[in-house]
Structure 1
Amino acid sequence: MNSSSIHLLASGNSLGAYIPAMHLYTYLQDRGIDTDVHVLENLYHEEVRNKIRSTKRAFHANFAVALMGHKLAKPVDASLDEAAVRDMLHAWKRDGASQFAVFTGFWLPILERYKEVADNPLDIRLIRMDAWDTPSFKVHKEVYPRYDNVWCYAPTKRTPAFYMASDEAEPLPYAQRAGRVLIHGGGWGIGTYAGTIRELCEAGRQLDVIVYDPAEVEEDDGATRYYGTEPSWDPWSRDEQGRHTFPPMVRYLRKDGVLQTYPMEDYAAYTDLLRNCAAVISKPGGATLNDSLAFGIPFVMLEPFGDHEFHNAAYWEACGFGIRYADWKAGDFSERLLEEICSRLLETRTTISHYGRNTYAAENSSYV
């Protein structure tokens, strides 16, 4: 990477700090802009990295445990392999790295060290994908105000600033969509999403369910489809070319008790599900807010995970882009409500640009 490269600093601890970075990476790469993704967990001691899977399983199994873990968040300094950190700082200094887009506050101690040794002026932007401090920024509240904080959903404003996607394709009009409802529990499969499935099936909705564990896949009923991430994949892994990738997605089908797995062609096949759905049901995480805006999807919001998601839900509801699940249920799962929300999203979406276009691609007039 040379000094004009853009370094996207992500984390696999939350897909909310990984998927938007991958969208921006894909968008910029397709426009010939030199970009690289760094995942924080690659700097962890191996034994710490190996414990992440067991933590995910515990959080998935018990939402109360996940909420407690969220409250106990602390800086990750003790998890870092000092030799790996030094090697990265050396490589950045050698290459004259100067442009950074940061998707999690846990990178801040490393950036503080880089600021001390960098030879060039630095352009460091903290990409805030939530309407409030996430734990990764909250634990560094004495540091982050010194940086350029770029808020997607500034708490004091009621219009989002931008969205991120792998391209600039327009959302589908509501009437052209397949009408299915997509349900998931975020990257760690946490929250109260599983309890909505039976209610919606009984209400006659066709569902696309993203499961965390293949054991959650029910017998095929002809209406509910199940998907998931390839279980062996981790966000900090790289492909044969040494690049980070979107999660490899699979479709699951259980017939006569036998589970069958069908790999999806690419991540775009998953985003096609998003583009075509009538609504997404999940906890109000920042990456799902971004999906809602980028693809024009009404957001039916479940119980929030932490303070930042509480504020996310309040923000999205105030914008008219989402509705609480309990309220949608009280309205008999109204289609009209979803269509009204979609109309507001599509209208707002026409006034908002892709973050990559505004910030980086605009330097090249052919992309303006």
Structure 2
Amino acid sequence: MDPSSVALLASGNSLGAYIPAMHLHTFLKGKGIETEIHVLENLYHAEIRDKIRITKKAFHSDFNIARMGHKLAKPIDSSLDEEAVQTLLNRWKEAKITCFAVFTGFWIPILMRYEKVADNPVDIQLIRMDAIDTPSFKVHKQLYPRFNNVWFYDPSKLSPYSYLNSNEEEPLPYHCRSGRILIHGGGWGIGTYKDTVSELREIGYALDVIVYDSSEVEENDGITRYYGTKVSWDPWSRDEQGQHTFPPMIHYVREDGILHEYPLQDYFEYIQLMRNYAAIISKPGGSTLNDSLAFSIPFIMLEPFGDHELHNAAYWESCGFGIRFTEWKNQGYSRHLLVEICRRLLEQRSTINHFGRITYAAKNNSYV
């Protein structure tokens, strides 16, 4: 099937279903392949999008609420604006779109509707970046087997299938890195990540902390750095050219109680920071597994959010690509251990290819 145009179906509800899509979008654009990202929330009624922002704050404030909400996932039919859905289906049909890369299972019923009206056979690939079903796929467990499910982390194979990044830049050798550790709570800033900051500062680690809210930024100590996403940005928003974008990142510095904001030039400046990290500390979300593999960064895993993250942690640990925070602490926050984990990641990374090259670019040599 001609991969000269690919629709990437993402979600703003989780950056784990948005950032990988943006990486693939950027990579394919660089190969001359036309792509367009569609964010599910743009098909929602406006009041539903407003509720997402409220839910996000509640989940950030209380990890127990987040875990409870995770268990209540259900199909999104009642959230959809039928007029917006029909407009999109008509647009795909008119443009003769046949190739889809799907990053959240909530798109499945919409795609089944498109299959019925499309003039040509449709190639739908469900991109599975967790070791088991996430809630969006679990609610459509009876539907998704009929599609091509691309499992990046098949638990029966302790060797990841592929990775996603905006380019194919090689990871830095460990001894060339800054030695700093990245700490974050995923796109919604949830979990126990904040508890590790003071603990690691006391033993001498230099940290980069992704905050959910600028109020979390502490007084500048000359070592710890704070970053965050521009408050007004949402994954379902578009720029002046009508395009979806990577999160606009800001470097925060608080001095004498005054908060200063220094916007990063672009998301690739943040990626260059990431390439230099000695480790990532976060909950084991699928997108963070991808960061760990794509940049060969040892993953120190905090308490998981949901069953899929529990399985992600077990998988990454079994592969030798990460360690649970409690175990790393028991081993004296070992730097040598991180070096060994990085070595295994670098070995694995050297044996696999970028997903975009495997699936799309390689199908049409004129784009490679």
Quote the Cα distance in structure 1 between the aligned partners of 2:294 and 2:6. Answer: 22
Deviation beyond 3 Å, 4+ runs, structure 1:
none
Label 1:102 to 1:330 Cα distance change in 2 as closer, same or farther (>3 A): same
Label 1:98 to 1:366 Cα distance change in 2 as closer, same or farther (>3 A): closer
Q: Which residue of 1 aligns with 2:200?
A: 200
Quote the Cα distance in structure 1 between the aligned partners of 2:4 and 2:117. Answer: 18
1:1-368 equivalences in 2 (<5 Å): 4-365=4-365
SS at 1:97 equivalent: coil
The answer to whether the 8 Å contact 1:4/1:97 transfers is no
Quote the Cα distance in structure 2 between the aligned partners of 1:3 and 1:201. Answer: 48
SS at 1:260 equivalent: strand
Aligned residue pairs total: 367
Quote the Cα distance in structure 1 between the aligned partners of 2:154 and 2:336. Answer: 29
**Displacement of 1:315 after TM fit?**
0.3
Quote the Cα distance in structure 2 between the aligned partners of 1:157 and 1:38. Answer: 31
Quote the Cα distance in structure 2 between the aligned partners of 1:318 and 1:289. Answer: 13
**Displacement of 1:366 after TM fit?**
5.6
**Displacement of 1:93 after TM fit?**
1.0
What amino acid maps onto 2:341 in structure 1?
A: I
What value does the CA root-mean-square deviation take over the aligned residues? Answer: 1.0
The answer to whether the 8 Å contact 2:17/2:104 transfers is yes
TM-score (norm 2): 0.98
The answer to whether the 8 Å contact 2:37/2:244 transfers is yes
Quote the Cα distance in structure 1 between the aligned partners of 2:232 and 2:159. Answer: 39
Quote the Cα distance in structure 1 between the aligned partners of 2:90 and 2:238. Answer: 21
The answer to whether the 8 Å contact 1:10/1:37 transfers is yes
CA deviation digits over 1:42-69, x for unaligned, max 9? 0000010111111100000000000000
Identity of aligned residues (%): 68
**Displacement of 1:365 after TM fit?**
2.7
**Displacement of 1:254 after TM fit?**
0.3
The answer to whether the 8 Å contact 2:3/2:33 transfers is no
What amino acid maps onto 2:166 in structure 1?
A: S
CA deviation digits over 1:75-103, x for unaligned, max 9? 11110000000000111111111000000
| Structure 2: 5+ residue stretches without partners | none
CA deviation digits over 1:302-326, x for unaligned, max 9? 0000000000000000000000000
CA deviation digits over 1:114-162, x for unaligned, max 9? 1111110110000001001000000000000111000000121100000
| Structure 1: 5+ residue stretches without partners | none
The answer to whether the 8 Å contact 2:209/2:224 transfers is yes
What amino acid maps onto 2:68 in structure 1?
A: M
Quote the Cα distance in structure 2 between the aligned partners of 1:274 and 1:333. Answer: 20
Quote the Cα distance in structure 2 between the aligned partners of 1:34 and 1:222. Answer: 44
